């Protein structure tokens, strides 16, 4: 988020929101707390439910801990319904694929030649 500072939204949460395209309080109002939370999760971030409650608190202009338990339950149920309908994609591996550095070659007669290791400049 940029511009106006929202209650309950710290620097890390604001950065996540900006990265998913929510840059103004109006953007947050348009998608709602659950929609914003889903966007952050779908972007690959791993926020706790406290972010969901903080977003709702920002919209209600109250501290997130003041949200009634019944409202928290509704928010979590809405989130779970969305995820059940359209599951989150699994995160990609932390690094790229690992390739075997040996290459199998066959000679002109089709016989298998002994493997050799590729040099870095051959890849």
The verdict on residue 117 lying in a domain is no
Show the domain range for 19: 11-85
**Phi (first) and psi of residue 44, to 5 degrees:** 100, -5
**Phi (first) and psi of residue 63, to 5 degrees:** -65, 140
The verdict on residue 1 lying in a domain is no
The tally of domains found in the chain comes to: 1
C-alpha to C-alpha distance for 121 and 96, rounded to whole angstroms: 19
Are 103 and 118 a contacting pair, CB within 8 Å? yes
CB atoms within 10 A of CB 118: 13
What CATH number has the domain bearing residue 57?
1.10.150.20
Are 4 and 24 a contacting pair, CB within 8 Å? yes
The verdict on residue 106 lying in a domain is no
Model-level pTM?
0.70
The verdict on residue 52 lying in a domain is yes
The verdict on residue 90 lying in a domain is no
The verdict on residue 123 lying in a domain is no
**Phi (first) and psi of residue 19, to 5 degrees:** -70, -20
Give me the tens of pLDDT residue by residue for the chain, a chain 123 residues long. 654 678 999 999 999 999 999 999 999 999 999 999 999 999 999 999 999 999 999 999 999 999 999 999 999 999 999 999 888 776 555 556 655 555 555 666 666 655 555 555 554
């Amino acid at each position: 988020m940029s511009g106006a500072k929202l209650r309950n939204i710290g620097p890390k949460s604001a950065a996540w929101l900006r990265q998913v395209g929510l840059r103004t309080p109006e953007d947050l109002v348009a998608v709602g707390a659950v929609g914003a939370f889903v966007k952050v999760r779908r972007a690959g971030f791993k926020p706790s439910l406290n972010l969901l409650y903080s977003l709702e608190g920002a919209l209600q202009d109250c501290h997130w801990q003041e949200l009634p338990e019944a409202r928290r339950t509704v928010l979590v149920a809405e989130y779970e319904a969305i995820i059940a309908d359209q599951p989150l994609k699994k995160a990609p591996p932390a690094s790229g694929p690992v390739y075997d550095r040996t290459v199998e070659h066959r000679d002109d007669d089709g016989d298998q030649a002994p493997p050799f290791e590729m040099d870095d400049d051959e890849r």
